[in-house]
Structure 1
């Protein structure tokens, strides 16, 4: 399939979701997509996904061909985030960072999330009941990003710093997305009133550099990610390079809040269309008696968690890729070295074999009903990845989502624009195209 030289680049760039879904229906669980830059193989059966996502023999890599000993040594010396590492280097870095994302530490920083969530969500009072339409997707970064920075780095961002950090993060995501799918790249020119990678990126780096310099000059005993990074040592006993520290902070910001913004945007966009699911959520949240949620309350909010998971399922992502690092085989088909092998979350998360005839319908019972969960393959749901690169922040993501839903719906009722329907927009994370238009009223 495809045209000479450019292959299927045009239809894939135009709408990767529809393109990959159509290919799956036509060609089955594994097929090759011709592209001008790199060969791409899609493998969408959960058993096939396990072979390359959960590989521990370094046959596949998250970050292209940098896993040879010399390359890994060079990359580590120059500096790179945990996502770009493989093998022992990956395991060592994850071991250093994991304490920040475990249940014990999340309980410590829980109050910080609640404090910022409450303060920021209370600002909606200015528009509540006025009939003024707001973009929930644009509002969420103003809540999630400052909370994440306070909890992870003990840093309180100004509104201006939040804006620049969010713009820079989204621009970087779009830049990566444009490289993968030849999509529209971010604006790099400093035009007034336009989203701009260059200006916002400079502002973000200044913020990060200021955080690091302030902490070095005035050390604290805060149990936060910044202190873990500054105190971490590589195998020879040397501290992480400055570039390593900056890259981990940048990576944490992108992975720690932007993905939550995207997933929560889809959760709200879909949940608000289903009054029956909302009523059940209201009843569950009412059991908190108006108190702010705590870690002990998370098991009492299973419907909120199911609503979030179902939002993530239908949000989907076009591909979750790995590079083949050697000539290998997948599903009986030869995979040449450096082939990009991927699953499509958008496709797998809508497969009727795992999700039933109504797979396109928002139904939190997909995750609340344990019989349904047990009946489908484990990797039929891949929102947090799998294998060595499984998301470290999974527990934090659920805590943030459940806290957000509880805090929002204790205070407000949200109403979507009549007749509006969400559509996917690819920006590495799948956002809602054009945002989520809604009005807000007080409870």
Structure 2
């Protein structure tokens, strides 16, 4: 039974250290102790840790206008990505969301399925039998190549390595800024800002050249690829106006980050789990082989690959890419019997939500059958790997399809193994990653 709090729980210095070291684990511990809504103070800052589905629904559906992304995190991400869909608020966000959401409709993104399959197949061909590989690094390279191809077609093919280097610096410096824990003005000449600014300028200059070239081609009425960049440039607001060039750049940066980092991490976790559970991997391999034989996976095959989808859903339950959603209260309101005051921070813990035995029996077990057709499916605010409400991830259908096509291709073509002696605890960085990486060995190739 949970302890009753008469006032917010003040985190001790020891608890603060535990929180910084393992945020997801500490929130789970506090939830088990105090319940699904835990008021706490952290160095004098008032917070609520929330994992109650009905209150989450109220926050994200009934009160989105009273909530903004917390200022500290928003500051770090705005420096990194500009004022794109991920960082915009209020009317600016609403206008951008209406414009961009149709681009990521399932009817559009299914046209990219063959690209996902082809690039995954090329990666499998490059991996030599007997090679030892860093799985997350390989998945990052694959998903970056997928984003580059689907956004810019072939125009950027020779510059992917440079883009990868820029992104590594941008994300690494953003992580340092988040770890520091205090908002520091961007104009200060800090080394972290200088390194990040140089990388941002490098990737922005490259993207501007491609955007301007495509704009000129469209203005001249020339034939252009039907990729994400063309969709962004030809989309129109309700008043008939296109996006400004700088806004297109910010959205491209946002898609670059959100569209490859999270998917790469999810694929890394998926393979880590499968290789630790050989019976599940064998069942998945049998399903994929039975449907595909030795031909590449196609979009139309997915309806015949239900266990593939179950494996991905269960991976996202155990390791949601974003373990928590942080929101700052802009105007006071009441939800679920709690009075939330202006400037308080609300942390919706997706990780805690996904690990509650009331919703998911034996929650720490990797069990794709819990998403089987004969099982009652979890509610929208009980299982939410891509968030929920009006700000649910706009690219969730894109990411899901990408994972399906990539995983099916890899299972069909490769036999992999984990190197012995590894530990796979999660580390809450910008995304929820394996703390020490994952080393794999290519045992054999199923298709020659």
- TM-score class, shorter-chain normalisation, is 0.7 to 0.9
Deviations 1:28-62 (CA, angstroms, capped at 9, x unpaired): 11112322474321111111111112235612233
Q: Deviations over 1:115-163 (max 9, x none)?
A: 2222223211xx32x2x42111110111111112211232443352353
Q: Which residue of 2 aligns with 1:149?
A: 148
Q: CA deviation at 1:203?
A: 3.1
Instruction: Please give the alpha-carbon distance, in whole angstroms, between the structure 2 residues aligned to 1:386 and 1:224.
Output: 27
* Count of matched residue pairs: 416
Matched, 1:323 2:328: yes
* CA 205–88 in structure 1, closer or farther in 2 if over 3 Å, else same: closer
Alignment counterpart, residue 59 of structure 1, candidates 59, 66, 71: 66
| Structure 2 equivalent of residue 378 of structure 1 | 380
1:204 aligns with 2:206: no
Change in CA separation of 1:172 and 1:370 when aligned onto 2, cut-off 3 Å: farther
* Shift in Å, 1:235: 5.7
1:167 paired to 2:172: no
Q: Which residue of 2 aligns with 1:69?
A: none
Q: Distance in 2 between the 1:371 and 1:41 partners?
A: 32
For the pair 1:188 / 2:188, whether they are aligned, the reply is: no
Is the 1:96–1:232 Cα contact (8 Å) retained in structure 2?
A: yes
In structure 2, the CA distance between the partners of 1:246 and 1:370, relative to structure 1 (3 Å rule), is farther
| Alpha-carbon separation, structure 1, partners of 2:21 and 2:182 | 9
Q: Distance in 1 between matches of 2:349 and 2:64?
A: 23
Structure 2 residue aligned with 1:302: 306
Tell me if structure 1 keeps the 8 A contact 2:144–2:164: no
- Seen in structure 2, the aligned counterparts of structure 1 residues 82 and 240 have a Cα distance that, compared at 3 Å, is same
RMSD over aligned Cα atoms: 2.9
CA distances 1:371-423 after superposition (whole Å, capped 9, x unpaired) = 242xx433211101101111111111111111111111221111012242311
1:75-224 correspondence runs (5 A)? 80-124=83-127, 127-128=128-129, 130=130, 132-154=131-153, 155-158=155-158, 159-168=160-169, 170-171=171-172, 174-175=175-176, 177-178=178-179, 188=192, 197-219=196-218, 220-224=223-227
**Residues 24 and 351, structure 2, Cα contact 8 Å, conserved in 1:** yes
**1:151-183 Cα shifts (integer Å, max 9, x gaps):** 12324433523532541453265256436699x
- Counterpart secondary structure, 1:338: coil
Match of 2:266 among 248, 263, 267: 263
Question: What is residue 427 of structure 1 aligned with on the other side?
Answer: 429
TM-score by length of 1: 0.85
- Rounded Cα–Cα distance in structure 1 between residues aligned with 2:431 and 2:191: 18
Q: Structure 1 221/99 Cα, relative in aligned 2: closer, same or farther at 3 Å? A: farther
- Is the CA contact 2:37–2:50 (under 8 Å) kept in the aligned structure 1? yes
Partner of 1:72: none
- 2:329–2:341 Cα contact (<8 Å) kept: yes
Query: How much does 1:206 deviate?
Result: 2.9
Closer/same/farther in 2, CA of residues 265 and 201 from structure 1, 3 Å limit: same
Distance in 2, Cα, partners of 1:274 & 1:64: 41
CA distance in 2, matches of 1:170, 1:291: 37
**SS of equivalent residue, structure 1 residue 400:** helix
Shift of 1:26: 1.0
Aligned pair in 2 of structure 1 residues 382, 147: CA closer, same or farther (>3 Å)? Answer: same
CA offsets per residue over residues 250-280 of structure 1, 9 Å max, x none?
Answer: 1111111111011111111111111110011
Alignment deviations for residues 49-80 of structure 1 (CA, whole Å, 9 cap, x no partner): 11112235612233659xxxxxxxxx9xxx72
Which deviates the most, 100-109 or 143-152? 100-109
* Residues 1:313 and 2:334 are matched in the alignment: no
Q: 1:165 to 1:260 in 2, by over 3 A?
A: farther
Equivalent in 25, 33, 36 of residue 26 of structure 1: 33
The C-alpha deviation readout for 1:340-374, integer Å capped at 9, x for no partner, is: 11211221111111111x2101111121244242x
Kept after mapping to 2: 8 A contact 1:80/1:243? no
The Cα offsets for residues 168-215 of structure 1, whole Å up to 9 and x where unpaired, read as 453265256436699xxx98389xxxxx64554343223322221221
Moved more, 338-347 or 151-160: 151-160
| Distance of aligned partners of 1:40 and 1:423 in 2 relative to their CA distance in 1, 3 Å threshold | same
Other structure's SS at 2:246 match: helix
Match of 1:346 among 347, 351, 371: 351
Q: Which runs of 5+ in 1 are unaligned?
A: 66-74, 191-195
Structure 2, gaps ≥5 residues long: 1-8, 73-77, 184-189
